[in-house]
Amino acid sequence: MAQTIRRGGKGVRRAAATRTTKAKVAQARRTTGSVLDSAIGALPVSEHRLHQVFLAMILGFAATAIWLVASMAGVPTMAAAQLAGLAGDAGFEVRRVEVRGVRRMNELKVYEKVLAERDRAMPLVDLAALRDDLLQLSWVEDARVSRQLPDTLVVDIVERSPRAVLKKPGRYVLIDATGHELEPVKADRARTMLALSGPGAGKQIEALDKLLEAAPALKPQVREAEWVGNRRWNLSFKTGQVLALPQGDEAGASALVSFAKLDGVNRLLGGQVAYFDMRAPDRIYLRVPGRAQQAAKDEIAKAAAKAKAEAE
């Protein structure tokens, strides 16, 4: 009996290999499905909730893409302007300004900065830019601007504290503890405060405060401090007397403490000595007004008396 052999048909080995591959694929699908199902089942949310989360993520990505395209076309700007107009029509616009924290500075300076926002819709007020403008005022150390709906801007000011006056040619300038210049002041007001003089003295006020803390009993007596040669201090007291200190923070503080002890024992302040020079480490030089003139007169009188005695 003749057999018919089909050309191109699969051999026994190829057929077996195909069946093995299909079995492996089916097994992998069953394994992957069971692992994914187990992972989803382990989550503390329902499958329906997960579908909602995935849907929200897809919608979020879509909204972001739409916003990016709209931004390129200028749509958000137009929408913001339209929203601001609606807010203004509804009464959400700047009608009042409330300033807090001002005690020493001219309050009108603050209002000049803020009142430019009057009648502006609240959403259009740039709070950060307004704060930056306020920080340009010499008295303002810090500022905070906030909206108080529907129609009020609230400005909280932190003022700088005046510490001394700086003597400049023909005028006095009020400064804070960092040397920041606040405003010019008249001479009568300057006389009631510690006055600084000398090139760069304003930047040395913190160092001066530290120096004076070394002798707290003398601190209230100091009326003026001159920064000499960008290296040392001359202190002028309310009595008009002057104390020259050596250069260097430690040397200056040590000399000031020594002077305070001498004053406590010998009452130097208020006495006849006009100038105390403590720049030398082991001695103090004193200058008494008129002492040189009096000594010269005494020498002349002594010479005249001697000449008279010799003539007789």
- Cα 45 from Cα 99, distance rounded (Å): 52
- Cα 222 from Cα 297, distance rounded (Å): 35
Q: What's the angle, vertex CA 269, arms to CA 268 and CA 271, rounded to 5?
A: 70
Helix (H, G, I), strand (E, B) or coil at 44: coil
Q: Is the pLDDT of residue 239 over 70?
A: yes
Q: Is the pLDDT of residue 264 over 70?
A: yes
Give residue 238's pLDDT band: very low, low, confident or very high (50, 70, 90): very high
Average pLDDT over residues 203-216: 94
* pLDDT single digits (tens) 152-171: 999 999 999 999 999 999 89
Give residue 67's pLDDT band: very low, low, confident or very high (50, 70, 90): low
* pLDDT single digits (tens) 115-135: 888 878 888 889 999 999 999
**Distance of CA 55 to CAs 31, 36, 43, 149, Å?**
26, 19, 17, 37
Q: What is the structure's pLDDT at 94?
A: 85
Give residue 312's pLDDT band: very low, low, confident or very high (50, 70, 90): low
Whether omega before 150 lies within 30 degrees of 0, making that bond cis, reads yes
Chain center to CA of 71? 36
Average pLDDT over residues 279-291: 85
Helix (H, G, I), strand (E, B) or coil at 173: strand
* Ordered alpha helix ranges (H), the chain: 12-42, 47-72, 75-89, 107-114, 127-134, 187-190, 205-213, 249-266, 291-311
Q: Give the type of residue at 2.
A: A
Helix (H, G, I), strand (E, B) or coil at 29: helix
Instruction: Please check whether residue 124 is in contact with residue 168, taking contact to mean a CB–CB distance below 8 angstroms.
Output: no
Q: Is the pLDDT of residue 271 over 80?
A: yes
Helix (H, G, I), strand (E, B) or coil at 273: coil
Q: What is the structure's pLDDT at 3?
A: 47
- Cα 118 from Cα 130, distance rounded (Å): 13
Give residue 281's pLDDT band: very low, low, confident or very high (50, 70, 90): confident
Q: Give the type of residue at 163.
A: R
In the numeric block, which tokens belong to residue 182?
């606040």
Instruction: Please check whether residue 246 is in contact with residue 211, taking contact to mean a CB–CB distance below 8 angstroms.
Output: no
Q: What is the structure's pLDDT at 86?
A: 43
**Distance of CA 42 to CAs 28, 29, 33, 45, 174, Å?**
21, 20, 14, 9, 71
Q: What is the structure's pLDDT at 55?
A: 60
Give 244's strand partners. 234, 277
Q: What is the structure's pLDDT at 21?
A: 62
Instruction: Please check whether residue 180 is in contact with residue 189, taking contact to mean a CB–CB distance below 8 angstroms.
Output: no
Give residue 289's pLDDT band: very low, low, confident or very high (50, 70, 90): confident
**Distance of CA 36 to CAs 22, 25, 88, 235, Å?**
21, 16, 55, 84
Helix (H, G, I), strand (E, B) or coil at 13: helix
3 state SS for 114-164: HHHHCCCEHHHCCHHHHHHHHCCCCCEEEEEEEEECCCEEEEEEEECCEEE
- % of the chain exceeding 90 in pLDDT: 51
Phi, psi (degrees; rounded to nearest 5) at 218? -90, -20
Give residue 12's pLDDT band: very low, low, confident or very high (50, 70, 90): low
- Average confidence score pLDDT of the chain: 79
Burial group, residue 33, by CB count within 10 angstroms (0-12, 13-18, 19+):
exposed
222 or 63, greater pLDDT: 222
Give residue 311's pLDDT band: very low, low, confident or very high (50, 70, 90): low
Question: Is the whole-model pTM more than 0.75?
Answer: no
